[in-house]
Chains A and B, each alone.
Chain A
Amino acid sequence: MVDRIADIWGTRTPYARGERWPVRVDQTLAPGVAEGDVDRWVQSACVLCSNGCGCDIAVKDGRMVGIRGRQADIVNHGRLGPKGLFGSWQGVDTGDRLTRPLIRVDGELVETDWDTAMNRIVERSRHLLDTKGPLSHGFYTTGQLFLEEYYALGIIGKAGVGTPHMDGNTRLCTATAATAMKESFGSDGQPGSYVDIDECDAMFLFGHNMAETQTVLWMRVLDRLAGPNPPRLVCVDPRETPVARAAEVHLAVRPGTNLALMNGLIRELFVNGWIDDAYIAAHTVDVDRLRDTVERWTPEAVAETCGVGADDVRRAAEIFGTSERVLSTVLQGFYQSAQATASSCQVNNLHLLRGMLGKEGSGILQMNGQPTAQNNRECGADGDLPGFRNWENPQHVQELADLWDVDPDTIPHWAPPTHVMQIFRYVELGSIEFLWISATNPAVSMPQLERIRRILDTDGLFLVVQDLYLTETARYADVVLPCAAWGEKTGTFTNVNRTVHLSDKAVEPPGEARSDLDVFLDYSRRMDFRTRSGAPLLDWAGPEDGFRAWQECTRGRPCDYTGISYERLRGGSGIPWPCNDANPDGTVRLYGDGVFPTDPDYCESYGHDLLTGAATGPVLYRATVQPGKAWLKSEDYRPPHEEPSEEYPLRYTTGRTVYQFHTRTKTGRSRALNRAAPGAWVEVSPADAEQLGIVEGDVVAVRSRRGHLEVPVRVGDIRVGTVFAPFHYGYWDDGGSEVSASAHHAANELTMTEWDPVSKQPVFKNAAVRIEKVRDCAGPSPAPTTAASRPACAGHRTAGRATGPGGGPGAVPATVGGQEGEASERFPDTAPPRVASSEERP
């Protein structure tokens, strides 16, 4: 047994470039359950990050009692991370699930039956549609439902209600990934594959703390690093994350300056001739504009703006420019920071300039943050048109109208879909009066929480919340619907590298809880949404009907699912789309032929100006596009809109810890995970701590122009002048539902209401704050010691008080799991799973 809380990534299985990642099967069973006790294993995939690890759920006496990785799966080769091992069934098989619908009566939420709850929703919805029309309705969903559920919701929103006001919390996590790919390549669709980790010579992790956010993917990297000819690593991150520690070059940029760095790296490629002129000429547009944009970003200029070494910029660029095969990954450090889309497009440009796309080991992974974010984007639950269709293309709208048998005018396509920040603004202004939130918790996860709480509490707003638990958000609802969790319903979902998995129902949901799909279908039925020929708009009997409907929707589109079925997904590995007659085994990489989906009749978007988000529009797009070629989009760096000042001298950034997921609705209920990261903290550098006269564990007030936190300090390895707070911690387990003035500890109390002009992703990773000490420490802060939040390497002295390693009085105890953190590892003597497709190593 291995303590997988202490040893997050488990035992190494080193391998060399070109070999396949060896199998290791990770497993946990509930205390007292032996393997022989398990009645059956039910196939699924993990939903506690975006990696999409294939797994099996152990069932005994109708309850989930364990989980193990599927060794045949191409994503994880048998492995699971701590969140999957300790927070999967443990996070949903708890005593405090919602088991009955709730409605508000005289100001209080009281239990009721489904008929009463649904009728209340339908009455309000019908009344508003009749009196104010569809623009009175908004829907805000998640990155954690199943494909079939998103597609049902997408159809309801577009063809039933007819509102453009639909978005997912994917807007907060992965909108920029989708947008950057639309801008560069013409459509969403991940170019690269995880298998490129096996094949690459260098890896660039741009704002991506993979070691904590996708632990199993990081195991694959660690195993390459432990083997012969390991890849060279470059990390861009203001914190000294585990990735940074493993990297040959760590560019600890000032938060908010990513684009300056990217423009500098691009410039080095031009200046040193590390570009593929033939590829650029054959497969890209606008190289001259790109060259002009980056011209002023010498390594010295980058060093000045970003606060990194000019030579480190040169070294990083040289690694990119001279390695044979480079894999890049991008995540929230770019997506949630200033100029998000422009910075992420520059990652695409690095690869386009070298022609390093769609080949072994040469790829891009514009990451997702959540397990089913990809499906949200595909199905249109983020407001886009399903199947990566273009709302500005009347033919695409007609295709959907034909598919659904509705009038094309029913489908909103006069403007882009309304992103969630704007949806909340319309609620604030009173023009949206019906808001339906599913499986997400904006009262903790959205920026500037004081404002969000006020909006959720708006007079006249009818708020529906469906979830597993009575979340901070559900407490504001007029109707709360109890839903089935992972393992309690069937459906499919797709991970970062397009791999589709089936998750079968293992057990019954608790009490009267229902699947989210059943709730949406029930709403559609009760609203009597119908097609042009009078049939019910959604007549699916269950998820498999939904999957078949979805297959038809994707036929001929980039995300073609027509070759995938529930049948094919059972038993073996997940399958990466597109999977169709031309690619019967799925597709490992996109764009190996250098042909991009930019054709104006095919593309998902006509693109935008990266500075302002101004739409290009069909006329200009058609006049300038060279169909099949990628766009080298670029924009100059501009300083963030909130910079440190005398009053607020520090830069504030937010992020994740390995042991928690999102707002802790599941992981916070896992004893093993929650003990490892039980409470909020902020990280400051030793130099800043010394200047502020604070030591490890001291309780401080962190203030921005929008709010304050009162939390203990971790003196850690973070850039001087920068403060980090994990965004997971809200108020549901504080013992009270009210947020008291002194108890603020949610990171988003301080964040700004501002978003990227193109992707509309909020800027969570830049704000100006100041710190004041509130009281002396009573012990070390609760921050884990195992990953980025570990205590600073060197002990130091502050204000005359003796300090141990990490700062505060005495040593900070190491984060361990003990018995609760134990999992087994097996190393079966079997060949690793082949990649899904025959396109590689036939």
Chain B
Amino acid sequence: MKLPVYLGLLHEAERILARSFRVVADGHGDEPDVHVILGTLAGQCDRHVEALEPVIARFGSEVEGEEEHRVTADGVEEVRTGALGLLLDLQDLYVLVHHLDVMWTMVGQAAAGGRDRELLDVVARCEPDADLQSRWLQTRMKQAAPQALLVAA
């Protein structure tokens, strides 16, 4: 049974994403919408971490030695500056969000296959947030891209 691996990865990925949201929020404090909304999205991740805990208590989690998440293991640890830097930082978050989004989908598949009501309920509560996070990042990046790529210093 490898579900504990996925639960562990998901749990860790949510923590990495929360931390990454906060790093970008704090690093781009001069962009008030980025600062405030990323703080809110980080709070969503915190709640996902909590929501996973009872499930992990039941199934356990196995991440030690696993390398399945190596592409996204570190998250965003520091920000870049300027208009291009903001765009790139938001794009890194976008990758992390989608990594998580698909992981929730897979855990949801396993929950459905295992007829696990509790886990299905956790997925139903958390997965829509990943979609919202993705949509917000897209909205903000699409607005920023022409200015950053065409005219910014």
Chain A residues with a Cβ under 8 A of chain B: 132-133, 135-136, 414-416, 418, 421-422, 425-426, 429-432, 609, 611-617, 638, 641, 752-755, 757
A136 to B153, alpha carbons, bound, how many Å?
11
CB <8 Å contact, B32 and A753: yes
Interface check B136, CB cutoff 8 A = yes
Residues of A within 8 A of B152 (CB): 429-431
Residue of A nearest to B37 (CB): A612
> Scoring B residues 25 to 42 as 1 if CB is less than 8 Å from chain A, else 0, what string do you get?
000001111001101110
B132 within 8 A of A: yes
Q: How far is the CB of B131 from chain A (nearest CB, A)?
A: 9
Residue A755 contacts which of B32, B136, B139, B146 (CB distance < 8 angstroms)?
B32
Q: Are B143 and A415 in contact (CB under 8 A)?
A: yes
A489 to B132, CA, bound (A): 49
- Decide yes or no: A638 and B40 within 8 Å by CB, A414-B142, A415-B146 being known contacts: yes
Nearest to B146 among chain A residues (CB) is: A135
A-B contact count, CB below 8 Å? Answer: 69
Does the CB pair A757–B33 fall under 8 Å? yes
Taking beta carbons and an 8 Å cutoff, which residues of B are in contact with A? 30-33, 36-37, 39-41, 82-83, 132, 135-136, 138-139, 142-143, 146-147, 150-153
Tell me the minimal C-beta distance from B39 to chain A in angstroms: 8
Query: Whole-angstrom distance from the CB of B146 to the nearest CB of chain A?
Result: 6
Q: How far is the CB of B44 from chain A (nearest CB, A)?
A: 9
Contact partners of B36 in chain A: CB under 8 A: 641, 754, 757
The CA-CA distance from A537 to B33 in the complex, in Å, is 36
A614 touching B135 in the complex, CB below 8 Å, given contacts A415-B143, A641-B36, A754-B36: yes
Q: Complex: how many Å from CA A421 to CA B31?
A: 10
Asked if B136 contacts A613 (CB within 8 A), the reply is yes
- Among the interface residues B30, B36, B135, B150, which one has the most CB atoms of the partner chain A within 10 A? B135
Chain B nearest Cβ from A611, distance in angstroms? 7
User: When A613-B136, A614-B136 are in contact, do A135 and B143 touch as well, CB less than 8 Å?
Assistant: no
A-B contact pairs, 13 of them (CB 8 A): A133-B151, A135-B150, A415-B142, A431-B83, A431-B153, A612-B37, A612-B136, A613-B33, A613-B37, A615-B138, A641-B39, A752-B32, A757-B36
B132 partner, pick from A614, A641, A755, beta carbons under 8 A:
A614
Within the assembled complex, what's the spacing in Å between the Cα atoms of A432 and B132?
Answer: 30
Tell me the complex Cα distance, A429–B84, Å. Answer: 11
Say yes or no: A136 contacts B151, CB within 8 Å: yes
Q: In whole angstroms, how far apart are the Cα atoms of A678 and B152 in the complex? A: 44
Q: How far is the CA of A613 from the CA of B31 in the complex (A)?
A: 15
Do B139 and A615 have beta carbons less than 8 Å apart? yes
Complex-state Cα separation, A265 to B33, whole angstroms: 29
Chain B binding surface SS class: helix
Pairwise interchain contact A609-B147, C-beta atoms closer than 8 A: no
Contact partners of B135 in chain A: CB under 8 A: 609, 614-617
Closest chain B residue, CB of each to CB of A762: B32
Residues in A with CB closer than 8 Å to B151 are 132-133, 135-136, 431-432
List A contacts of B153 (CB < 8 A): 429-431
How far apart are the CA atoms of A429 and B152 in the complex, in Å?
Answer: 8
Whole-angstrom distance between the alpha carbons of A422 and B33 in the complex?
10
Beta-carbon contact of B83 and A418 below 8 Å: no
Nearest CB to that of B139 among chain A residues?
Answer: A615
Given A431-B83, A612-B132, A613-B37, CB of A135 within 8 Å of CB of B139: no
Task: Name the residue on B nearest A638 (C-beta).
Answer: B40
- Give CA–CA (A617, B137) in the complex, Å: 13
Query: What residues on B are CB-neighbors of A430 within 8 Å?
Result: 152-153
B83 touches A609 (CB 8 A): no
Q: How many Å from the CB of B35 to the closest CB on chain A?
A: 9
Contact A425 B31 (CB under 8 A): yes
Are B146 and A429 touching (Cβ within 8 A)? Answer: no
Chain A residues, CB < 8 A from B83? 429, 431
A-B pairs, top 6 by smallest CB distance, nearest first, are A614-B136, A614-B135, A612-B136, A415-B143, A431-B151, A135-B151
- CB neighbours (8 Å) of A609 from chain B are 132, 135-136
Question: 9 new A-B pairs (CB below 8 Å) besides A612-B40, A754-B36?
Answer: A135-B146, A414-B146, A416-B143, A429-B83, A431-B151, A432-B151, A609-B136, A613-B139, A757-B37
- Provide the residues of chain A in CB contact with B143, threshold 8 Å: 415-416, 418, 422
Chain B residue numbers with a CB within 8 Å of A421 are: 32
Q: Which residue of A lies closest to B38 (CB)?
A: A612
Query: Would you give the shortest CB distance from B153 to chain A, in whole angstroms?
Result: 5
Most B CB contacts (10 A, CB to CB) among A132, A612, A617 go to A612
| B21 → chain A closest CB, angstroms | 12
CA distance A758 to B50 in the complex (A): 29
What is the distance, in angstroms, from A691's C-beta to the closest C-beta of chain B? 32
Scoring B135, B138, B151 by chain A CB atoms within 10 A of each residue's CB, the highest score goes to B151
CB nearest neighbor in B for A451: B30
The residue in chain A whose Cβ has the minimal distance to the Cβ of B86 is A429
For residue B26, give the distance in angstroms from its CB to the closest CB of chain A: 14
Inter-chain contacts of B139 with A (CB < 8 A)? 613-615
Contact of B41 among A416, A432, A612 (CB under 8 A): A612
Q: In angstroms, how far is the closest chain A Cβ from the Cβ of B23?
A: 18
- For B142, the closest partner residue in chain A by CB is A415
User: What B residues does A415 contact at CB under 8 A?
Assistant: 142-143, 146
Q: For residue A755, which residues in chain B have a CB less than 8 angstroms away from its CB?
A: 32-33
What's the minimum C-beta distance from A454 to chain B, rounded to whole angstroms?
12
Q: Which residues of A contact B138 (CB under 8 A)?
A: 614-615
Q: Which residue of B lies closest to A448 (CB)?
A: B32
Complex CA–CA separation, A692 to B99 (angstroms): 54
Q: Chain A's nearest CB lies how many Å from the CB of B147?
A: 5
Q: Complex: how many Å from CA A277 to CA B146?
A: 47
